[in-house]
Structure 1
């Protein structure tokens, strides 16, 4: 046991990180008088200049930075047999800029030009350059005090060419997976009709709504001679679903909703990745001729008024309409004088 104390004290004295692995023969006793240097939480905060010099897989406990740019398309990656969504952004402070990878539900937590406090980040290196990535324990908190970006910096922004289509969805294929909120393992046998589900990995029984839903898939649009197939990621699809204020039990519920929701406006990249999807709003198209033709505008107003008051009977107050809702200016006409 004495050798273990010497081992621990050696690493603490040199301010190095270490891991202690306990076995069946390990014993833990209470002791006193052990010199254990610690720092207040505010002193653990690093800046980007310091982080850029760190090797791979180092923990960054706290960082205050501002979002400089956010890549539009997301990327789907398979990690430990689980498909995850990742999006890159550029963050910075007065000391420099660095790329940060956001994963899954953290993607929609940031906005360009806003300052956040990031905790429990991790470093990665690629081609001799250091990057940051979020972890399962990362927390992102918006800050009231803005962190200024460097006056001159290489943001490495890449212009993404986008296209737009407004049309009803011809077909869709949606895949939905449930993840444990604790161990984040994919649940292979998840029955949405049951009230409870036991995680297949950590064996914890939870309410079925406690599990994390991840859905992505493909949207198909009918063109003149062929079809357009677009890939939609979890963050984009989830954002669209939340706007509809509708509950979906499984993937087929989402597919049926997409086919019956009417025309949608979709913005996508040249690689056919959906960036944004919204329900299309039907509006009356007004031409330049309509704008300058007062007589035609007056006729349009009269037709609109007559359509909304077809069942109105003189003296019947049940079908009367408030005058402030529709105002029709009568045309000034000349009447012949009485002879």
Structure 2
């Protein structure tokens, strides 16, 4: 915990700018009331503002509607998850708002919530909302990661997307990853921008929706970002496996430590909302020990790798039975596993040799015959 002096310093920041899009009062997953806004601090620089002082909302709304510049004092800057190089602004009851004059930049509304091209997105700054983008997901350049958000392990995947006007990166989270396929085109709604170096990229939000559409064209030149440079293919047999299936609340996204799958309802352990058990999403993680060339390697499952494999094998009935999934992998025989540079399993393929009469089974049968022959020789002697 920071010292009192450091805490006081963190709460004494002052920022000058314009307020946009002040939200209605909301309730957090911890039942705390707050509201949000976009804070413009430069010609094309925007930051998310969260105010835990709902009594000040009227003043925020009035200054926003009147296009007046403000000075916010006694606030806190927080690390921004959607813009690693930027920050979010946190206001409390001790924060103050004052109308000021002489700001060195003009008020400029954030990007329109209408449809935009990739070329238009690339000209935006970070922390801006994008209503709709229609784009093609390129076959190369995907990167899988697992990050902790509010102490919950979440999977994200970065895709390269394009339309005839340009190319950029799109980050999707958890279940959204399973809703897309490379080389197909999608209409994506309710996205947000952030900066990756000097490039503007897109990220999904909890309210993002997507739907497949007819093919979207490409620009004259594509920047090749080959994900295969960061992945490797390993062939071996599964020697051990542990799969963890966590039920997650769709409202507050928190994992449920105790969940009775046969019950018809379940009360979220964080937001306390009673819901139907079927409304809770299942997210998988775990470890697979693969024996390859006489060496054991410990690899980490991603939720998308497990779900895509089960879907391919038409094992939908087993998706909530973790032990059945574990036993399947133990009995699968030889597998080809694609692993990225962080040791995460990207994809799993059962080897064709595992089919009846294939080399693997023939080798096992030959080994059994050899053992029987040795036993017979020992009996003779």
TM-score range, shorter chain: 0.5 to 0.7
Among candidates 136, 143, 146, match of residue 206 of structure 2: 136
The CA distance in 1 between the partners of 2:292 and 2:236, in whole Å, is 11
The equivalences for 1:234-253 within 5 A come to 234-242=303-311, 243=313, 244-249=315-320, 251-253=322-324
The CA distance in 1 between the partners of 2:212 and 2:263, in whole Å, is 37
Give TM-score, length-normalised by structure 2: 0.60
Aligned residue for 2:355?
Answer: 282
How much has 1:285 moved relative to structure 2? 5.4
Unaligned runs of 5+ in 2: 1-17, 26-53, 59-64, 66-111, 360-381
Q: 1:46 to 1:278 in 2, by over 3 A?
A: same
Cα shift readout 1:274-321 (whole Å, capped 9, x = no counterpart): 2222334415459xxxxxxxxxxxxxxxxxxxxxxxxxxxxxxxxxxx
Q: 1:81 to 1:230 in 2, by over 3 A?
A: same
Aligned residue for 1:304?
Answer: none
SS in 2 for 1:237: helix
SS in 1 for 2:138: strand
Larger Rg: 1
The CA distance in 1 between the partners of 2:325 and 2:132, in whole Å, is 39
Alpha carbons 1:268, 1:276 under 8 Å: kept: yes
Cα shift readout 1:194-245 (whole Å, capped 9, x = no counterpart): 3321112332222222211101111112345431212221001112223224
Greater mean alpha carbon deviation, residues 191-200 or residues 89-98: 191-200
Alpha carbons 2:318, 2:325 under 8 Å: kept: no
Q: 1:49 to 1:72 in 2, by over 3 A?
A: closer
How much has 1:187 moved relative to structure 2? 1.7
Q: 1:237 to 1:156 in 2, by over 3 A?
A: same
Unaligned runs of 5+ in 1: 1-14, 28-33, 35-41, 287-339
The equivalences for 1:27-46 within 5 A come to 44-46=114-116
Aligned residue for 2:180?
Answer: 110
The CA distance in 2 between the partners of 1:44 and 1:269, in whole Å, is 36
The equivalences for 1:171-320 within 5 A come to 171-223=240-292, 225-242=294-311, 243=313, 244-249=315-320, 251-269=322-340, 271-280=342-351, 281-284=354-357
Give TM-score, length-normalised by structure 1: 0.67
Q: How many residue pairs align between the two structures? A: 257
The CA distance in 1 between the partners of 2:191 and 2:56, in whole Å, is 34
Corresponding position: 1:69 with 2:139: yes
SS in 2 for 1:148: coil
Corresponding position: 1:18 with 2:87: no
Greater mean alpha carbon deviation, residues 88-97 or residues 277-286: 277-286
